Structure 1
Amino acid sequence: MKSLLIISLFAILLMSCSTSTQTDQKTQTAVAGKNDALAKLFENYYEERLQLFPLEATQQGDNRYNDLLPVDISKEFIEKTRQFYQDNLTNIQAIDRESLSEEDKIAYDTFKREMEVQLEGFAFHPEYIPFQQFWGLPLTFGQLGSGESIQPFKTVKDYEDWLKRMSAFTIWGDSAIVNFRKGIEAGVVLPKSLVEKMIPQMNDLLVKDANQSLFYSPINKFPADFSEADKTRLTVAYKKAILEEIVPTYQKLGNFLQKEYLAKARTSSGINELPQGKEMYAYQVKVWTTTDKTPDEIYETGKQEVARIRSEMEKVKEQVGFKGTLNDFFAHLKKDKQFYPYSKSGEVLADFNAILAKIEPNLKKMFNKTPQTKFEVRQTEKFREASASAEYNPGAPDGSRPGIFYVPIPNANEFNKTSGMESLFLHEAIPGHHYQISLQQENENLYEFQRFSWYGAYGEGWALYCESLGKELGLYTDPYQYMGALGDEMHRAIRLVVDVGLHTKGMSREEAIKYMMDNEPISEQGATAEIERYMAIPGQALSYKIGALKIRELREKYEKQLGNKFNLSEFHDEFLKDGGMPLDVLETKMDAWAAKQANKQI
């Protein structure tokens, strides 16, 4: 997912938006009565940010910078962005917070915190590890060039824009190697097990015949209104770019990783072994959880949650009459043929679509406000399916692109129906990411930076909370699907233990894999991929459970405080109304909402 902008230097691009940025911003300021100085600051920030990070503009449907691909890991770029954040922090501090409306205070607090967090991150030199096996430009670039992602291929200019980005990618690739070498000198390197995954990712995009390249796909899909002359010219140009720029860049990256970097990679699993590793992890915990919780607090919470969910799993095991230990039950769920009913990928997709049909009547009782953005379930593209997870890619708020729930189905015969299909749909699709992101993007009363921001604890926390709504939505009537939901919840609880364990407590990759397999029905291959993800992106996996626990805590607090004045649909609407924000800002906002509800007459 998706994905995704106000984000840390390590984060994923997730968002998309309308092309009418400046007009919308000026209109919303006048209509909503926003503070003029604050509105101007946010407008300038947003416009300058799109120029600095043109891939974000493309994500957001703004095509002005579709030909640009800056070397965002260069010394010059890093200094420019550092100054950008510093200037904006100085500017926001010059505005009197106490004179602002409650809505503007939310925007102020969110923005100020983000500038401070971004500036803090430069001390850890994220550019020393330009990409890894889970995310980074070399992986994103294949999606963009496939013609099936956010890079548009509708006009001749679109095709010419992508030619320029392909050319710029060669410079980025050379810079990545330079930065990896700086990381080697500084002792900041990836674990060997991750580098071993990256090498085939680079090699998989090597071709001798340009026609066989993923990057040739747009040539096979020329719009009907293209002239023959343009088709011929662009075909020649794309073949040249693929063979002389794209393939050599991936080859160079793969060779470097294989012949030079792999030998320098570390055998340790956690970043605590790196210089400033302890401080680096504490920073990532703050970024991803948007809290001041310590790693030790999170670790203890994780162990408590694992124990609680295990007891629920035991109840399901007894309900279905399974004889044996919980681990035996896990093995049964993974191996029994009855749980592998599919022969075609279309059958899997049909079952996911059936989930939507089943929950739609109850959704109306839980949400007054729903998105206008359309929604689709699709199979993940073949070129990345083998190593991909299910994910949500946001739609465009102008309706030009639907929100898409991608499901990897490399082999339908191996797709396990008890793997938590219902909970997965609630998380990645509806009402999880699709509702939250779409409503945020569609809300023109928000400042643009709010409409297209992403906070893991808020967004992933919401999606995981939505999994807990399954019974209220009419799902989990099949005990095996409920077991799958418990497995998904357990998966997020385990993350609190293994992520902190890997990065602060000396837990090895192998110990973390075993802990995961001992506590949920997951294959060794699946557990390995997950643990290696946490090794690559320290702290990110904490955001899900920490956010979900906070949302559940708030709901239960208000249910108790408000009694018959508590309305679940209004709680959900209020939660989603102002877009993503840090959890402390969220709690302040929701407490104010609850106070207003308490004063309502019934």
Structure 2
Amino acid sequence: MNKHQLTLCAALAVATLGTVGCTRTSEQEQGTEAVQADKHLSQLFDNYYEARLQLFPMEATGIADNRYNDQLPNDLSQEHTEQVRQLYQRYLDKINQIDRSQLDAQEQVSYDIFKYEMQMSLEGLKQPANLLPVNQFWGLPITMAQLGSGSSNQPFKTPEDYQNFLGRIKGFTVWGDTAIANMRRGMSMGVVLPRTLTQKVLPQLQAMVVNDPTKSIFWAPVEKLPDTFTAVQKDSIRQAYTKAITEEVIPTYKKLHDFMQQEYLPKSRSTTGISGIKGGDDYYKYLVRYWTTTDMTPDQIFETGQQEVARIRSEMEKVKEQVGFKGDLKAFFQHVNDNPKFTPFKTPEEVLAAYSQIEQRMQPQLNKLFGITPKSKFEVRQTEAFRAASASAEYNPPAPDGSRPGIFYVPILDAKTYNMVGMESLFLHEAIPGHHYQISIQQEQEGLPKFRQYAWYGAFGEGWALYSESLGEELGLYTDPYQYFGRLSDEMHRALRLVVDVGMHAKGWTREQAIQYSLDNELTSREAAVAEIERYMAIPGQALSYKIGELKIKELRQRAQHALGDRFNISAFHDLILKGGVMPLAVLEKKVDEWIEVQKKS
């Protein structure tokens, strides 16, 4: 047992909470009991989060907690899975011993979120995710390359930082062996990737197999050794990284590549959706609940998607008429894709500058819509070359201590073909006031338990980001009808996800059917449509979170406006949504309803 395991055991042992809330014989006893409940609850949350970080040290690195930067537990192993299961079960038992009625409103929200999280996490451990550890969209082989490049969360500032990452490299070699063992088990059970996805993974793995360690992306931090290091320290690091890359990193990627090419590819399935694996129907139903945080059925989501697609198409037709385009909607898509006036850039720097100009244009309006704004810094960066081909635009959260800004990553394969239509809505979503506001404000809230400060629920987080796109006109954007058309196309992109995701995973749609549905209904290229559809194939249900969350936030705003009339304050409403951080949609709805009642009485 190492020191981290000992600390984990100690943390879990400390968290032995008794039942709170027995017979109440007086107001004084009741008040004492409430204080005890608060004390027990905050201690429970603290103990849980401390124990969690030791089992998931990459999460600690992500929030600039550097205590476990050398750790990479084998999260595919049965031993680790059992440790995680015990953690969730232990804390579910403890939260059930707390008397919810003795808590204040904020604590009750925390209680509800925590209990939901423990229950869903325990159910998730019964699913076959560990048999599908690698795909082209996300997974440890991609994450390790990002961390090892020095451009992500892993710090490379001190000699100890460089030493720490060598520990993670050792962990990666163990993980790679278990990934292969788990995939072999999956092969024997019929739990495998679709063939097209396996084919996408192979070049990603092959790209990491180089003859010269100094040509590896993992060498990048060694190229940038700080001047403050001594000559002896620099030489030692160079030798250690040469050895680690040559003997551990490259062989691990090669082993994964060769296994997937020689053994796994022939056994990969021809079916598209997750229903094609053993137990896939039940797995998808779980994933739908997990990603939407609702009890909506796949059929209900499919129907909602079809309604939204029809509504947005009619809005698109209006824009087409407004600009005087002659031809059908599909021809208009082609026009927007191909017209040279929409690709005015020559260099990646020009693309990044255009995004910065969007921020400057809407800055004066932000204070009208938001009372609270992030303290964290923010940057727009080009996505690293090694992953740009398969990456979407994305947001990487800031470090809570200010050591790393929030970063909006933009993949620019060729600036000369980068289409400007939709840049405004993309910035609103990924950057401001989308992910940057939501995540930064959540992390910066004092008084929130850490498990809430650093939590993520896709339906809320992505729902907020998509809702943010709808604020463009209020923020002084979308004055160009083509930018507004870009916003509609982005909204359509999220609406048709409801149709194609459910279509593929629950209704027997093929990859080709889903690609064609995308091409028929949105502004996209075939190449982009293929990449998106294969993303939904790789991570079933995740794409449902955006539109389901946005529809709920819009519904709650309309409800509040209707109920409060002139008393409705948009800035106060947005602050209410953001200050509590992400949460399941049912918990959010209850919170907004309670706020509306308070506003009525004020």
Deviations along 1:481-540, one digit per CA (max 9) or x if unpaired, are: 000000000000000000000011111000000000000011111000100011111100
Amino acid at match of 1:113: Y
Rounded Cα–Cα distance in structure 1 between residues aligned with 2:415 and 2:183: 38
Deviations along 1:246-292, one digit per CA (max 9) or x if unpaired, are: 00000000001100000111000011122111111110000000000
Rounded Cα–Cα distance in structure 2 between residues aligned with 1:407 and 1:45: 36
Does 2:564 match 1:562? Answer: yes
Structure 2 partner of 1:22: none
Structure 1 partner of 2:364: 361
TM-score, with normalisation over the residues of structure 2? 0.94
Q: 1:457 to 1:300 in 2, by over 3 A?
A: same
Structure 2 partner of 1:268: 271
Q: CA deviation at 1:121?
A: 1.3
Q: CA deviation at 1:417?
A: 1.0
Does 2:426 match 1:424? Answer: yes
Gaps (5+ residues) in structure 2?
Answer: 1-34
Q: CA deviation at 1:34?
A: 7.8
Q: CA deviation at 1:33?
A: 10
The number of equivalent residue pairs is: 569
How do 1:327-338 and structure 2 match up within 5 A? 327-338=330-341
Structure 2 partner of 1:509: 511
Structure 2 partner of 1:11: none
Structure 2 partner of 1:119: 122
- Provide the secondary structure at the position in 1 that maps to 2:126: helix
Q: CA deviation at 1:336?
A: 1.2
Q: CA deviation at 1:387?
A: 1.2
How do 1:287-436 and structure 2 match up within 5 A? 287-418=290-421, 420-436=422-438
Structure 2 partner of 1:224: 227
Q: CA deviation at 1:410?
A: 1.0
Structure 2 partner of 1:540: 542
Structure 2 partner of 1:110: 113
Structure 1 partner of 2:502: 500
Deviations along 1:67-93, one digit per CA (max 9) or x if unpaired, are: 011100001111111111111111110
Does the 8 A contact of 2:379 with 2:406 survive in 1? yes
How do 1:460-471 and structure 2 match up within 5 A? 460-471=462-473
Among 277, 280, 284, the residue aligned to 1:277? 280
Rounded Cα–Cα distance in structure 1 between residues aligned with 2:352 and 2:126: 45
Q: 1:570 to 1:34 in 2, by over 3 A?
A: farther
Structure 2 partner of 1:5: none
Does the 8 A contact of 2:71 with 2:168 survive in 1? yes
Structure 2 partner of 1:478: 480
* Greater relative CO (CA pairs within 8 A, separation 6+): 1
Rounded Cα–Cα distance in structure 2 between residues aligned with 1:417 and 1:399: 31
- Provide the secondary structure at the position in 2 that maps to 1:133: coil
Rounded Cα–Cα distance in structure 1 between residues aligned with 2:59 and 2:450: 13
Deviations along 1:428-471, one digit per CA (max 9) or x if unpaired, are: 00000000000000112100100000000000000000000001
- Provide the secondary structure at the position in 1 that maps to 2:125: helix
Structure 1 partner of 2:148: 145
Rounded Cα–Cα distance in structure 2 between residues aligned with 1:126 and 1:384: 23
Structure 2 partner of 1:26: none
Rounded Cα–Cα distance in structure 1 between residues aligned with 2:545 and 2:266: 33
Deviations along 1:15-39, one digit per CA (max 9) or x if unpaired, are: xxxxxxxxxxxxxxxxx99801111
Q: CA deviation at 1:350?
A: 0.7
Does the 8 A contact of 1:334 with 1:416 survive in 2? yes
Rounded Cα–Cα distance in structure 2 between residues aligned with 1:293 and 1:101: 30
Provide the identity percentage.
59
Amino acid at match of 1:213: S
Structure 1 partner of 2:186: 183
Does the 8 A contact of 2:37 with 2:102 survive in 1? no
Over 4 Å off, 4+ runs: none
- Provide the secondary structure at the position in 2 that maps to 1:406: strand
Does the 8 A contact of 1:34 with 1:104 survive in 2? no
Rounded Cα–Cα distance in structure 1 between residues aligned with 2:37 and 2:581: 17
Structure 1 partner of 2:576: 574
Rounded Cα–Cα distance in structure 2 between residues aligned with 1:34 and 1:574: 25
Deviations along 1:402-430, one digit per CA (max 9) or x if unpaired, are: 10001011100110111x10000000000
Rounded Cα–Cα distance in structure 2 between residues aligned with 1:458 and 1:379: 26
Does the 8 A contact of 1:470 with 1:476 survive in 2? yes
Rounded Cα–Cα distance in structure 2 between residues aligned with 1:537 and 1:69: 23
Rounded Cα–Cα distance in structure 1 between residues aligned with 2:44 and 2:560: 35
Q: CA deviation at 1:125?
A: 2.2
Structure 2 partner of 1:526: 528
Amino acid at match of 1:236: Q
Deviations along 1:358-379, one digit per CA (max 9) or x if unpaired, are: 1111101000100100001111
Structure 2 partner of 1:29: none
Does the 8 A contact of 1:211 with 1:239 survive in 2? yes
Among 31, 38, 42, the residue aligned to 1:39? 42
Among 132, 136, 144, the residue aligned to 1:133? 136
Structure 1 partner of 2:3: none
Rounded Cα–Cα distance in structure 2 between residues aligned with 1:148 and 1:122: 31
TM-score, with normalisation over the residues of structure 1? 0.94
Amino acid at match of 2:560: Y
Does the 8 A contact of 2:511 with 2:533 survive in 1? yes
- Provide the secondary structure at the position in 2 that maps to 1:378: strand
Rounded Cα–Cα distance in structure 1 between residues aligned with 2:429 and 2:303: 25
Rounded Cα–Cα distance in structure 2 between residues aligned with 1:79 and 1:125: 14
Does 2:174 match 1:171? Answer: yes
Gaps (5+ residues) in structure 1?
Answer: 1-31
Structure 1 partner of 2:11: none
Rounded Cα–Cα distance in structure 1 between residues aligned with 2:300 and 2:151: 42
Q: 1:352 to 1:34 in 2, by over 3 A?
A: farther
Structure 2 partner of 1:96: 99
Amino acid at match of 2:104: S
Amino acid at match of 2:218: F
Structure 2 partner of 1:8: none
Q: CA deviation at 1:543?
A: 0.3
Q: 1:414 to 1:447 in 2, by over 3 A?
A: same
- Provide the secondary structure at the position in 2 that maps to 1:472: helix
Deviations along 1:316-370, one digit per CA (max 9) or x if unpaired, are: 0001100000001011111111111111111111110000001111101000100
Rounded Cα–Cα distance in structure 1 between residues aligned with 2:486 and 2:108: 41
Amino acid at match of 2:427: F
| Root mean square deviation of aligned Cα | 1.1
Does 2:54 match 1:51? Answer: yes
Structure 2 partner of 1:214: 217
- Provide the secondary structure at the position in 2 that maps to 1:404: strand
Structure 2 partner of 1:587: 589
Deviations along 1:545-596, one digit per CA (max 9) or x if unpaired, are: 0000000000011111100000000000001111110000000001111111
